[in-house]
Amino acid sequence: MFSKRPLLVVAGIAVALVATALPAMSSDIPPADTVVTSPNVTHVLNVPKPAALAGTINTDLAFQGDYAYVGNYGGFSIVDIKNPKKAKVVSSVVCPGAQMDLSVYGNLLFSAVDSSRNNDSCSSTGQSATIKESWEGVRIFDISDKANPRYIKSVETNCGSHTLTLVPGKGHDERKNVYLYVSSYSPGATLPDCLPPHDKISIIKVPLRHPETAAVAATPVVFPDGGNETQPGLLVPTSGCHDITVYAEKDIAAGACMGDGVLFDISNRLDPRVTARTTDPNFAFWHSATFTNDAKTVLFTDELGGGGAATCNEATGPNRGADAIYRIHRGKLVFQSYYKIPRHQADTENCVAHNGSLIPVKGKNIMVQAWYMGGVSFLDFSNPARPEEFGYFERGPKADGSGGGVWSAYYYNGYVYAADFDNGLDILKINDRRTNGATGVRSDQLNVQTQQSYRDGGHHH
């Protein structure tokens, strides 16, 4: 648990000088619309949403070289982060469709559309999924000219694309193709392109030299027996996956699949095989997954309330709307503990575990994570049985009582980038003995759901 109390470090162990721990009181909730941080976190800059996307919410992030790509329900923007203290928007593309989960590879940007449109164009409008001609799926852009991204291809997928995960090819295939694991869900008997049982994912093959020929190449069934559909408290029964994180160099993936947590063997990219499955009585909706660098532990998040509810309060407690940390032991998922931010939020603040990434500190398991209106949390789960927060950034409740908050918070080359629904892109810096070891690690590309190993003081592999 993070503490603002002065700490005395004795033999490498922090000892609190004042031995009182009080529960969060309403007086601890920051003033409306005010930024507060722990002493080790600096708010470097806020980059407002470009005018063209100001009316729609920011979502996921991807990174490449000196650029951050910011997804938004209305499209996406490209931000020059060469000097994070002077980051600026280079371009924005208006191309509506929830949720605009993004990945980048070479000169290609892939975006996920999980809202039914009247066609696949950027000028499309919403149209009922009960109409066979409606479109949802994946859009592919050429981003070689950062000032003028070009839309080159769409691929329709069953039930749309809520999220997508970029998977590099293997061996000789690596230079030729990338694959997209598309997660989608919520089938219905009246939806011609999304009929039950939708217990599968869609895999798009993208030939790198001819991305305009990208197409669905496989639709493997993850839950031949239907998955977890009866557990009390589930947001919705399992019918596909919400998000998949791949660790391609180790040929494994972790699926956050609504009512189920899943491990896959992805040594055959077009035929991922389920190797382990688990459920959790406290989990309402398995939302996302993060492997540790050694791939011996995986952290899953639970999106209790679908992201719209106030669940970071005393009434909900510490074990729901949280992270669950599992050891991978003999191929099985073995529960270790829950982690939830210790800072209680107001009852007007939607708050729950959401998207985060590892901070590449050798030999430690350290993560930064978004919690909607709970802000950004820095957590150390090196001991998977005793995770703790050691830094944070958040804003107080909104004066008008509305929701919002940070959708995704990721570490990239020395800074943390946080995509806020309404407030744009926040750039943060943490100065802490636990994370300072990451400063030498540099990567030239980061798609968080496509994990790469890191070594000390060098590039990601």
Q: pLDDT tens, 302-340?
A: 999 999 999 999 999 999 999 999 999 999 999 999 999
pLDDT of residue 10: 36
Beta strands 323-329 and 297-302 are antiparallel
Q: What is the mean pLDDT of the chain?
A: 93
pLDDT of residue 28: 82
State yes or no: pLDDT of 19 exceeds 70.
Answer: no
State yes or no: pLDDT of 11 exceeds 70.
Answer: no
Mean pLDDT of 94-117: 98
Q: In 213-314, where do the E strands start and end?
A: 215-218, 243-247, 252-257, 260-265, 273-278, 286-291, 297-302
pLDDT above 70 as % of the chain: 93
pLDDT of residue 444: 96
> What pLDDT band is residue 460 in, cutting at 50, 70 and 90?
low
CB 377 within 8 A of CB 323: no
Residue type, 195: L
Q: pLDDT tens, 123-134?
A: 999 999 999 999
CB 377 within 8 A of CB 36: no
CA distance 364 to 405: 28
Query: What H or E segment, with its residue span, contains residue 15?
Result: strand 13-16
State yes or no: pLDDT of 4 exceeds 50.
Answer: no
Residue 327: phi and psi, rounded to 5, are -80, 145
> What pLDDT band is residue 27 in, cutting at 50, 70 and 90?
low
pLDDT of residue 387: 98
> What pLDDT band is residue 456 in, cutting at 50, 70 and 90?
low
pLDDT of residue 124: 98
State yes or no: pLDDT of 26 exceeds 70.
Answer: no
CA distance 383 to 336: 9
Mean pLDDT of 297-301: 98
pLDDT of residue 25: 53
Closest CA to 218 of 171, 192, 179: 179
pLDDT of residue 281: 97
State yes or no: pLDDT of 459 exceeds 60.
Answer: no
pLDDT of residue 202: 98
> What pLDDT band is residue 186 in, cutting at 50, 70 and 90?
very high
State yes or no: pLDDT of 8 exceeds 50.
Answer: no
DSSP structural state of residue 111: E
Has this prediction a pTM greater than 0.95?
no
State yes or no: pLDDT of 16 exceeds 60.
Answer: no
Mean pLDDT of 17-26: 42
Q: pLDDT tens, 200-229?
A: 999 999 999 999 999 999 999 999 999 999
pLDDT of residue 5: 32
Beta bridge partners of 70: 61, 77
State yes or no: pLDDT of 18 exceeds 50.
Answer: no
> What pLDDT band is residue 279 in, cutting at 50, 70 and 90?
very high
Q: What angle (nearest 5°) sits at the alpha carbon of residue 156, between those of residues 188 and 125?
A: 80
pLDDT of residue 192: 98
Q: pLDDT tens, 380-411?
A: 999 999 999 999 999 999 999 999 999 999 99
CB 143 within 8 A of CB 428: no
